[in-house]
Amino acid sequence: SNGLYIVATPIGNLGDITLRAKETLARCDAVACEDTRVTGKLLRHLGISKPLWRYDDHAGERDRQRLLDAMRTQAIALVSDAGTPLISDPGYRLVSEAREAGIPVTSLPGPSAPIMALTLSGLPSDRFLFAGFLPNKDKARRDVLEELASVRSTLVFFETAPRLGKALEAIGEVLPGREVAVARELTKLYEECRTGSPTQLALHFEAHPPRGEIVLLVGPPATDVVNEADADALLREALETLKTSQAAAH
Ligand code: SAM
């Protein structure tokens, strides 16, 4: 039936396409995608042939209106070059406007690099904050890290291979003492996930310059665990100090 179908696609290994993704791509009327060559290749691999409509970061109001109009009568799939659409990829406005227009929206879950990296890293996964790409300029990168310094969650960023060294250096300075993970080339031949201090990882990747796609994760700040007995003792001590200082003041 008509509407918008958000379809996650593999982030490297084509075996990760889901059964529903395949079915939906085979059944839909057209596929909106970032790069028609990339998506064309995926569809050929699946033995599917569909009209491809370009919808990328440069898409304007007109492209969006054309898609929204089509969705009123047709099934339109939205895919990215890789992974889950809208996650540092186009689609947010399209979904928001489709919902506003009362057009049915469905999302077919599947691969996403930040989630896969989080599950691999061994860092706490109960709370995490995904913050997209770290800025490229030194000052802006530090500002983002400073802004996130007090967040008690694992931080998840996208990073490119040439900038990894600078990012690790900044993390070491702005967020000292944190455990860091570098997840690289996920689901691909040279997949790796390395953990350590920012300095250890910087040294490693200086000696072995990384290639390919990277997710960078930063563990939460260490919490000072205070047990109940300790807390009681601390409280008594604080009260004593207060009494003594009050007595001294009178
Ligand atoms: N929407 C995608 C998703 O759900 O995974 C992410 C799109 S974003 C434009 C692309 C970035 O995701 C890359 O620069 C890299 O940081 C990360 N990424 C994508 N595929 C990856 C992979 N196989 N291994 C590691 N990182 C990957």
pLDDT, position 225: 62
Q: The pTM is what?
A: 0.89
DSSP 220-235: PPPP----HHHHHHHH
- Probe target for ligand 1 pocket from 157, 186, 187, 190, with the most ligand atoms within 8 Å of CB: 186
Per the DSSP assignment, residues forming a β-bridge with 192 are: 184
Distance CA 188, CA 99 (A): 35
Helix (H) or strand (E) holding 95: helix 92-100
Q: Give tens-digit pLDDT for 68-91.
A: 999 999 999 999 999 999 999 999
Distance CA 122, CA 193 (A): 10
pLDDT, position 226: 63
pLDDT, position 196: 98
Is residue 4 within 8 A of residue 64, CB to CB? The reply is no
pLDDT, position 235: 80
174: left (phi over 0), alpha (psi -120 to 50) or beta: alpha
* 158 Cα–ligand 1 center, Å: 7
Distance CA 33, CA 40 (A): 9
Per the DSSP assignment, residues forming a β-bridge with 181 are: 195, 217
Give the DSSP letter of residue 89.
S
87 lines ligand 1 (CB under 6 A): yes
Is residue 202 within 8 A of residue 168, CB to CB? The reply is yes
186 lines ligand 1 (CB under 6 A): yes
219 lines ligand 1 (CB under 6 A): no
Secondary structure of residue 50 in the 3-state scheme = coil
88 lines ligand 1 (CB under 6 A): yes
Per the DSSP assignment, residues forming a β-bridge with 193 are: 183
Please give the mean pLDDT across all residues of the chain: 95
- Which residue stretches of the chain have pLDDT < 50? none
Q: C-alpha angle 91/113/207, rounded to 5°?
A: 130
* 80 Cα–ligand 1 center, Å: 10
ipTM: 0.99
Phi, psi values for residue 55, rounded to 5°: -140, 95
Strands 192-196, 180-184: pairing is: antiparallel
